[in-house]
Every structure is written in structure tokens, then in C-alpha cells.
Amino acid sequence: MKGKNWREYQPQRKQKKRHRHRKGGILKKLILAVLLFALGYVGFQIYFRYSKPYVIGLDAGHGGIDVGAVGVIQEVDLTEHTTAKLAELLQADGRFRVVLSRDEGEDKSITDRNKLFQRVKPNLVLSIHANSGEDASAFGFECYPSPPGKPNYEKSLVLAQYIAKEMEGAGARLRGTDGVRFGYYVADEEGNTSKLLLDSTDTQIYDYDTFGMLKNMACPTVLVEQCFVTNQEDVAEFGTDEGCARAAQAYYQAICKYLEDVEKAEPK
């Protein structure tokens, strides 16, 4: 009886052991899968960050149902076309990884675009817009760096000066003293906000809010107003396919020169 009991007992024990073994196997596979995933994720992050010396954030203003200013052309057509051209130039260069704030045609809030760049931490961000005037005679190029007192103000100003200079070289007529301005939103007592645009010579620190895309940025950031969509001549120069390509070329040159001169010692 003793032996029989033993034989009867054995298979049961084996079965139990096998069962336990299978359970352990699944757990091991699961841990391995999680580890592999984590390793892949870290690897991707490292590749993303270090495979190219510089990460450039590009923001095509407006998008989706928000077409921006409307004049001879729609602002959004200009911002998307120029951004696509600039991304092409940067990618062909080989030194840059381009991060776009949104897809073509996508309607995404400025807060979400700003947050994306705060997360990705590019070396610099360029936000592309176009101007409009009630009077069709208003013309020219201007750009807005992060203003005095805000993060990365000094570097943003230098980048803006490089951009304005290249745009002037491409034939743009610069607005203000040098095509560089500081932009603020000023609220009155009733809570209505209006834009306050100051020349780059006004380096006083104001407590006003600035443009959404320039807020809390961890890198030099410049918003460009490429031309006036309400001005025929401006659109012919910088609003057509060819004109957008010309502006993109100027931005590309400015980005290269800025990074070579200012950021060379600290690529990401």
C-alpha cells in the first residue's frame, strides 16, 4: 500500500511542479518583454537625442479650421509651405533632427505645441506666421524673440537678429529699426487685451504676457511674421511657393550660422 501510495503521489507532484514551472515561465517572459521594451525605449531616446547634433523645433502657425490671417492668400498656406520647405532643407543637411509642432492641416492649440517643445527640448524653435493689415499698403518682415526677462531672451534675440539679416539679404524689407521686435499682450482694466509691439531697442523688462509660443521655452525661440498676406507685393516676394522656398532658405542659413557661432560648444 505504501508503494502504491507513492506511485499515485508521484504523478500528482510532477504535475504540480510542471504547472508551477509554466507559471514561472510566463512571468519570466513577461519580465523579459518589459525589459526589452524598456531597453528599446531608452535606445530610441538616445538615438533620437544623439544621432544628430541638433534638434530643431518648427511650428507652422495656425492649422485646420484656423487659417490665420486672410488676404491675397491664407496665412496657413504660407506657414505650412514654408515649414515643409525648411524641414526639407534641414533634413537634407544631415546635422538636424526636425520636430514639427503639428501635422499639416492639424488644428492644435498653442498650449499643446508649446508643451511639446518643452518636453522635446530642441536646440531652438522657429514659429512661422504671416502678418496682416487693415490697410493693404502695410508691408515687410518682422520677428519676435522671447522678450527681455523671459527664459532664453539673450540667445533668442541673437537668433532673431540672424534671421532678420538673412531675410534682408533675401530681399525682405525689415520693419522697425532692424526687423526684430518684442511682442506683449497688455490687459486693460476691463480685461480686454491688446498687442503691444516694441522695437528691439526697448530692452526694459515688462510684466506683460508675451506670445504663447514664446512662453517658458527651454531654448531660444523666435516667431517670424514672414510678410503681409494683405500686401500684393509682399505675397509675390514671400507668399508664393517660390517665395516660401526663398524664406525657408533664409531661415535655414540663419539657423546654421547661429548654431555655428553661438551654440557650437553645446550641441544636444
Interacting residues with Zn ion (CB under 5 A): 61, 68, 129
Q: How far is the CB of 131 from Zn ion (least distance, A)?
A: 8
Q: Which is nearer to Zn ion, 96 or 139 (CB)?
A: 139
**Spatial CB neighbours of 40, under 8 Å, sequence gap ≥ 6:** none
Smallest gap, in angstroms, from Cβ of residue 113 to Zn ion? 13
Kind plus residue range of the DSSP H or E element containing 20: helix 2-50
Q: Would you say how long the chain is, in residues? A: 268
Cα–Cα distance for residue pair 266/155, rounded to 1 Å: 13
Least separation in angstroms between CB 167 and Zn ion:
17
DSSP for 212-231 reads: GGGTT-SS-EEEEEEEETT-
Taking each helix axis as running N to C, give the angle between helix 153-169 and helix 241-258, from 0 to 180 degrees, rounded to the nearest 10. 130
Residue sitting closest to Zn ion (CB): 129
Which C-beta is closer to Zn ion: that of 75 or that of 263?
Answer: 75
Q: How far is the CB of 78 from Zn ion (least distance, A)?
A: 9
Are 142 and 181 spatial neighbours (Cβ–Cβ below 8 Å)?
A: yes
| DSSP reduced 3-state for 13 | helix
Toward Zn ion, which CB reaches closer, 68 or 145? Answer: 68
Residue 120 CB, nearest approach to Zn ion (Å): 22
162: helix, strand or coil: helix
Least distance from Zn ion to the Cβ atom of residue 223, Å:
8
Inter-residue contact 101 to 120 (CB < 8 Å): no
Q: Which is nearer to Zn ion, 61 or 71 (CB)?
A: 61
- Residue among 71 and 259 whose Cβ is closer to Zn ion: 71
Q: How far is CA 46 from the centre of its chain?
A: 19
Report the residue number, 61 or 239, with the smaller CB distance to Zn ion: 61
Residue 249 Cβ vs Zn ion, minimum distance, rounded to whole Å? 21
Separation between Cα atoms, residue 222 and residue 211, nearest integer Å = 10
Please identify, using beta-carbon distances, which residue of 60 and 99 lies nearer to Zn ion.
60
